[in-house]
Structure formats: structure tokens, C-alpha cells
Amino acid sequence: MNLKIAVLLPCYNEGVVIAKAVKDFQSVLPGATVYVYDNNSTDNTFEQATGAGAIVRRELRQGKGHVVRRMFADVEADVYVMADGDGTYDHTICPEMVKLLLENQLDMVIGQRQGQEGAYRSGHQWGNHLFNWFLKKLFKSNFQDIFSGYRIFTRRFVKSFPALSSGFDIETELSVHALELGLSFAETPCHYKKREEGTQSKLRTYTDGLKILIRMVSLFKHQRPFLFFGLFAAVAASASMILFIPIWETYLRTGLVPRFPTAILCTALMILSMVFITCGLVLDSLSYTRTVLKRLHYLCLETGS
């Protein structure tokens, strides 16, 4: 098939390994164009990538999400291969991943990392399992590795993806985008290697972990607002009823309401519960409309196959 394939490698200070990463993908996808997006590197990443034959561009806004947004906006192709420029992903399975995408008419294929000992930093594997479970509960997903940066996309997926994240929460947004529009995807095992000597991960365990958690909650609020605000409504209504029970019992026995401040608080909490329900209903309608528009935009795009 005469398809244009683009390999997208976001990079920040990967001068030690970027040339090898470029050549690895060139060797398994000889007809593909390799793009390296340099995110303000202070080493020789730009020069090494250029020397290896990649098309190198710069993104001045710091953060992987900004880089992905720029890559998806600038590059025109039929199939997009996105991987990190640190050489940790197995490039040899890339042709099989592309084949899986095309033969099954999928929108996304994810390289599910099977890490060797020492490939993951301390706590990262546990955190990955925790966030996968969290996403499953919030969005009813069946993803096994939502943080994998090794992904193959169709043109439809890339050009319909809004890319609002700024950092490492971009993978979460990619996964939720597929779930929101009901897009077809698959995960395939991928060998995940240790980083080369002289390189280090840019992921900050606790800071970026907190940002990812906040992004998940934010996406949950946008995608399922009725359930999100319904939880707050249930808490407010429950508190109101619990506080009101003693007042009601006293009123039945004596015909008096001796605790007016508590009664007023119960009323306020119940009103607040109704406000949350109203917000949820209104935003749920807006969310539905937005999803329909995104789906229609997706359907208007050419498949490239």
C-alpha cells in the first residue's frame, strides 16, 4: 500500500541516544519520514538528530504535551508512529504494529511495555498499575498500559485529537480520546529496555504523578459530568438527611423544632445537592453535544488507507 508513514520522536536532552533511535526506525521503516521535535534541549540533540537524517524541528514551550500538539498539527501523513527518543522501545516490532493497525482497520495500536529488570524506576510500575485501575473505574476502559509512549495512529485519530495537555499527562488524554469517541484500538506486547548510560528520565515521579491524577479527574468531569456532580450531590444530600433525622424525631415527639441553625444547615445542604444535580444535567447535555461534534469531525477526515 502506498501510504505515507511519519515517525514522531519528541526529545529533550537525548543527544546520547537520539541518532541511534532515528536510524533504528529508518531501518525497519525505510519508506517513512522521521521527525524529531527538540523541546529546548541543552545538549547536542538537535545536531545528532540532523546528522542521522531526521527532519528536526523545535518546540519552545516546555512539556511533552506541547510537543505532541505541535507534531500532530504540523506533520501530514497517513500513519503516525510516535515513540520516545530515548531508545527504550523495541523498534523491531514497529512494522508489525503498523500491519496490525491497517489490517484490522484500527485507530490506535499501543505498545504494551514488558520491562526487563531495572527498566522501570522505583515505584513507576506500581503507579502504572494504580492509574490503569483508576482509569478503568472512571471511564470503563480496558487499557493495560495507558502511559506507554509507543503508539501507532491513523490520520483520523491524530487530526481529531485536540491535545490540551501540556506534560506527561498527554498519554492519558490520548487514551480518553479513544474511549470518548468509541475508537478501535489494540495493545500489543513490547519489550521495554533500560535507558542508556548517561541518560535519565524526565518524568518527575510525584509532581507529574499528581498532574496526571488531576488530569484524569478533569477529564472525568468533562466526559461524565452528571456522575461527577452526582457524587457531590449524594454527599450533600446524605449529610442533610443525617443531620435532619434527630430534628425530625424531636418534632414528632414534641411538635417543636429546637435547633433552628441545624435545620437551616440541612435545608442549605439539600438545596446545594439540587444545584449539583442541575449542574450535572446541564453539563451532561453539553458534553453529549461536544462528543457528537468531535465524532462528526472524525468521520469527515480521510482515512489515508
Tens digit of each residue's pLDDT (9 = 90 or more) over 259-276:
889 999 999 999 999 999
pLDDT of residue 271: 97
Angle between helices 205-223 and 124-139 (to 10 degrees): 10
Mean pLDDT value of segment 126-144: 85
The tens digit of pLDDT for each residue in 80-111 reads 999 998 888 999 999 999 999 999 999 999 99
What is the percent of the chain with per-residue pLDDT over 70, rounded to a whole number?
94
DSSP-derived 3-state class of residue 108: strand
Return d(Cα 85, Cα 162) in angstroms, integer: 23
Mean pLDDT value of segment 233-262: 91
Sheet with 33-38, side-by-side order of all strands: 55-58, 33-38, 5-11, 79-82, 151-154, 108-115, 185-192
- Which cell numbers in the block locate residue 69? 500538539
pLDDT of residue 81: 98
Average pLDDT of the residues of the chain? 90
- Residue in 60, 66, 289 with CA at minimum distance from that of residue 180: 289
Q: Which residue has the higher pLDDT, 195 or 78?
A: 78
pLDDT of residue 198: 66
How long is the chain?
A: 305
pLDDT of residue 28: 96
**Which of 33-37, 82-86, 127-131, 209-213 is most confident?**
33-37
pLDDT of residue 132: 86
DSSP-derived 3-state class of residue 242: helix
pLDDT of residue 137: 87
- Residue in 222, 128, 130 with CA at minimum distance from that of residue 173: 222
Return d(Cα 223, Cα 263) in angstroms, integer: 36
Return d(Cα 247, Cα 253) in angstroms, integer: 10
Of the chain, the end-to-end C-alpha distance in Å amounts to 8
DSSP string across 35-79? EEEE-S-SSSHHHHHHHTT-EEEE--S-SHHHHHHHHHHH---SE
The tens digit of pLDDT for each residue in 155-213 reads 999 999 999 888 888 999 999 999 999 999 999 999 988 877 666 777 777 787 888 88
Position 221 confidence tier, pLDDT thresholds 50, 70, 90: very high
Q: Which residue has the higher pLDDT, 165 or 57?
A: 57
Position 118 confidence tier, pLDDT thresholds 50, 70, 90: low
What is the percent of the chain with per-residue pLDDT over 90, rounded to a whole number?
70
Mean pLDDT value of segment 38-43: 93
- Residue in 10, 153, 20, 30 with CA at minimum distance from that of residue 81: 153
Return d(Cα 26, Cα 34) in angstroms, integer: 7
Is 60 exceeded by the pLDDT of residue 134?
A: yes
